[in-house]
Amino acid sequence: MIVWIDGRLADTGSPEGRVSPLDHALLTGDGVFETLKVCDRVPFAVTRHLRRLRRSADALGLAVLADHVLRDAMAAVVEANGVDEGRLRLTVTGGAATTLGSDRGGATPTTIVACGPMAPWPDATAVVTVPWPRNERGAIAGVKSVSYAENVVALTHARGQGAGEAIFGNTVGNLCEGTGSNVFLVLGGDLVTPPLSAGPLAGITRELLLEVSDAVEHDVPLEALAEADEAFLSSSTREVQPISMVDGRPLPSVPGPRSKEAAEAFRALVARDLDP
């Protein structure tokens, strides 16, 4: 795979295509990232992703390169890997830190762009709720940091039960998000998604769905998901993925009419504008 690291294209098999073993993201999870879907060789919703990257980086005090540099880097990596449809990852790390501890010690951030093909998601997925809460009041709540070990543990737990995604509640027992997705559900006729104050990542797909559908933001208890008339996950790579089962209990309508409507509205948006 050809990646872009700090201004240069390099093969991941070559020394130039690697980062330092002292990189602070590797040692402490000190870094931020974005995942974008590539449609027809174009990374989708670049402007929104770059905006969120800056917000995440600000929260960690990391400097981000100029937008035009990142846009050129993304185009070069898509081209170099010949990816028509796929996924692109943009990562900014704390950089090589000689302290070997939590102190970044004045390291310069490392910027990495990588791009590759993507396996299609199943048409629908079972989910399980997990017993570990998201901390909606934590220092990196809502930040797309590379500290994803909690997500790895939760997703492994879900996979062990034959489900495709794990769903977190927050510290007060309300629905929060999945390990790599936001959640929408139909309750009492309303299409609802948890507000950002509940602690989920401000998903770009979530944000766009709030603009193109009649979804509303509302706190709901975690248990409400299993009682929903229908529900779906949203993410850049999934777009809209209906939920078939919650904790082993089938939802009544898969995909339900509101999920279909949302998926169609999102597809129509992508078809008319690749940087909405």
Ligand X SMILES: Cc1ncc(COP(=O)(O)O)c(C=O)c1O
Which residues sit at the interface with ligand X, rule CB under 6 A? 35, 177, 180-182, 200-201, 203-206, 234-236
Kindly state the tokens that stand for 157: 């737990």
* Whether the Cβ atoms of residue 127 and residue 166 lie closer than 8 Å to each other: yes
Q: Are strands 8-11 and 42-43 parallel, antiparallel or unpaired?
A: unpaired
Residue 131's CB is within 10 A of a number of other CB atoms, namely 8
CB of 165 to ligand X, least distance (A): 10
Nearer to ligand X, 6 or 67 (CB): 67
Nearer to ligand X, 6 or 148 (CB): 148
Rounded to 10 degrees, the C-alpha dihedral 6/35/207/124 comes to 180
- Within 29-148, where are the H helices? 46-60, 67-81
Q: How far apart are CA 230 and CA 186, in angstroms?
A: 5
CB of 201 to ligand X, least distance (A): 4
CB of 180 to ligand X, least distance (A): 4
SS (H, E, C) 144-164: CECCCHHHHHHHHHHHHCCCC
For helices 46-60 and 204-212, angle between their N-to-C axes, nearest 10 degrees: 130
CB of 49 to ligand X, least distance (A): 7
Which residues, at least 6 apart from 33, have a Cβ–Cβ distance to it below 8 Å? 53, 56, 89, 90, 91, 92, 144, 145, 146
Residue 106's CB is within 10 A of a number of other CB atoms, namely 9
Nearer to ligand X, 6 or 121 (CB): 121
Nearer to ligand X, 89 or 260 (CB): 89
Nearer to ligand X, 18 or 218 (CB): 218
CB of 1 to ligand X, least distance (A): 20
Q: How far apart are CA 155 and CA 167, in angstroms?
A: 9
CB of 204 to ligand X, least distance (A): 4
Nearer to ligand X, 97 or 208 (CB): 208
CB of 242 to ligand X, least distance (A): 16
Please give the residue whose beta carbon sits closest to ligand X in the complex. Answer: 203
Nearer to ligand X, 9 or 212 (CB): 212
* Whether the Cβ atoms of residue 88 and residue 115 lie closer than 8 Å to each other: yes
